[in-house]
């Protein structure tokens, strides 16, 4: 983008090279085997990418939404699954601790998370409470200098790999009386329940977390009891923007595959790219990608400049992944039978992108957020 500064351009090049060399060659293998690319994850730590938004005092890069989205975009081009796990670690865990935890908690947890020695996750969703996050039922009860936590979390990215889990619980009967704890994997009473097998993002481990009288020190409470709703709202915008960045990377990969195939593949004695219907799909694909890039990075710049609003973040989250699903389908159509086969990565890209219409708030929830705010603003005073 024309408004990237020198640091952001260098970051973009580094991430592009890393994606091509470390993620792309093994993306299909990890997808087929549902395995986590731990080698690449460790190397991300060596490159200083695992604390992209964290304070340099703890080993972070001290950058913002623009930089984080650049990483998602470039990594998403090569392997969306690995990028989703990266997002869960850097945005859902590290950025939440950076934004909400005490100096003592930051000093204890951030250095190892940022170096890659530890893997992070966030635990909010439960089997009966996804979009209705305020309704979660996992409960923490004070017991002297500890809290006793009981309940289950579901659909947790990085679950079986996580050393540190930023966890939302209920600490009172009022609906908004929710509290946040930093849970360590060796906490007594805490365990990984079972892995979940998914349509897409198969190289990003997802599973269930179980709390059976888990004993957590009071020192691991983030902020005060009842602060969780504020914590949730504080991080949602950057989560929604950055997950849409993964979709932008997927779209760019689809276009590049189509351009190559349209020049190489011949039908009726002509390159496929000579046919107007193919040209139409490619032209619309390229145009949509340019619009998405300008939209998302403009919103990132506004976010980094302090101009933040949940409506525009919701618009990014609603609009971009939905557009990219169509781009994936058009890319498969251009490739015909080969596109539908597993010989090419296009079917994986389609499967992976579908998650971005569900995670971090479904399309339907984004519609509610956007429409309610616009209707409220338009209401006569």
> Does residue 74 share a domain with residue 23?
yes
Among candidates 113, 71, 65, which has minimal Cα distance to 89? 113
Task: Give the predicted TM-score (pTM) of the model.
Answer: 0.97
Q: Say if strands 164-170 and 206-217 run parallel, antiparallel, or are unpaired.
A: unpaired
Both tokens of 73, joined, read 């975009």
Domain end residue (candidates: 177, 198, 226): 226
Q: Say if strands 164-170 and 120-123 run parallel, antiparallel, or are unpaired.
A: parallel
Among candidates 141, 200, 198, which has minimal Cα distance to 351? 200
Give the CATH number of the domain where residue 367 resides: 1.20.140.10
> Does residue 127 share a domain with residue 88?
no
> Does residue 99 share a domain with residue 41?
yes
Active site residues: 239
> Does residue 126 share a domain with residue 108?
no
Distance separating alpha carbons of residues 1 and 3, to the nearest angstrom: 6
Could you give the percent of the chain with pLDDT greater than 90?
94
Identify the H or E element spanning 363. helix 363-378
Q: Is residue 64 part of a domain?
A: yes
> Does residue 341 share a domain with residue 282?
yes
**266 bridge partner residues:** 271
> Does residue 88 share a domain with residue 138?
no
Assign 328 to helix, strand or coil. helix
Domain end residue (candidates: 97, 119, 141): 119
> Does residue 343 share a domain with residue 238?
yes
Domain end residue (candidates: 103, 119, 135): 119
Q: Is residue 297 part of a domain?
A: yes
> Does residue 334 share a domain with residue 235?
yes
Distance separating alpha carbons of residues 349 and 196, to the nearest angstrom: 19
Q: Is residue 381 part of a domain?
A: no
Q: Is the pLDDT score of 3 beyond 90? A: no
Structural domain containing residue 84: 6-119
Give the CATH number of the domain where residue 191 resides: 2.40.110.10
How many domains in the chain? Answer: 3
Q: Is residue 205 part of a domain?
A: yes
Distance separating alpha carbons of residues 107 and 103, to the nearest angstrom: 6
pLDDT (tens digit per residue) in 313-357: 999 999 999 999 999 999 999 999 999 999 999 999 999 999 999
Q: Is the pLDDT score of 308 beyond 90? A: no
User: In degrees rounded to 5, what are phi and psi of residue 263?
Assistant: -85, -30
Q: Is residue 198 part of a domain?
A: yes
Q: Is residue 1 part of a domain?
A: no
**205 bridge partner residues:** none
pLDDT (tens digit per residue) in 135-149: 999 999 999 999 999
């Amino acid at each position: 983008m024309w408004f990237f500064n020198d640091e952001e351009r260098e970051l973009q090049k580094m991430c592009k090279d890393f994606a091509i060399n470390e993620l792309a060659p093994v993306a299909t293998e990890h997808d087929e085997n549902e395995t986590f690319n731990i080698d690449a994850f460790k190397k991300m730590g060596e490159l200083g990418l695992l604390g992209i938004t964290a304070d340099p005092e703890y080993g972070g890069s001290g950058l913002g939404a623009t930089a984080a989205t650049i990483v998602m975009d470039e990594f998403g081009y090569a392997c969306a699954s690995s990028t989703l796990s990266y997002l869960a670690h850097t945005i859902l865990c590290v950025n939440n601790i950076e934004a909400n935890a005490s100096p003592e908690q930051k000093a204890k947890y951030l250095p190892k998370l940022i170096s890659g020695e530890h893997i992070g996750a966030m635990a909010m969703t439960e089997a009966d409470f996804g979009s209705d996050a305020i309704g979660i039922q996992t409960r923490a009860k004070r017991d002297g200098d500890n809290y006793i936590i009981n309940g289950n979390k579901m659909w947790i990215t990085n679950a079986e790999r996580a050393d540190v889990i930023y966890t939302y619980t209920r600490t009172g009967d009022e609906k908004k009386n929710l509290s946040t704890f930093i849970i360590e994997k060796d906490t007594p009473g805490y365990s990984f329940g079972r892995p979940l097998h998914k349509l897409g993002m198969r190289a990003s481990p997802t599973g269930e977390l179980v709390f059976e009288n888990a004993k957590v020190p009071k020192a691991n409470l983030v902020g005060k009891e009842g602060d969780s709703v504020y914590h949730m709202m504080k991080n949602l915008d950057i989560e929604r923007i950055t997950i849409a960045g993964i979709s932008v990377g997927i779209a760019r990969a689809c276009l590049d595959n189509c351009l190559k195939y349209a020049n190489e593949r011949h039908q009726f004695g002509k390159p496929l790219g000579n046919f107007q219907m193919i040209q139409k799909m490619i032209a619309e694909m390229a145009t949509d990608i340019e619009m998405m890039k300008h939209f998302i990075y403009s919103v990132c710049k506004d976010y980094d400049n302090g101009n933040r609003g949940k409506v525009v973040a919701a618009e990014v989250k609603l609009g971009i992944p939905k557009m990219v699903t169509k781009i994936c389908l058009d890319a498969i159509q251009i490739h015909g039978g080969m596109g539908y086969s597993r010989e090419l990565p296009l079917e994986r890209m389609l499967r992976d992108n579908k998650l971005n219409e569900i995670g971090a708030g479904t399309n339907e929830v984004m519609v509610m957020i956007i429409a309610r705010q616009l209707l409220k603003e338009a209401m006569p005073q």
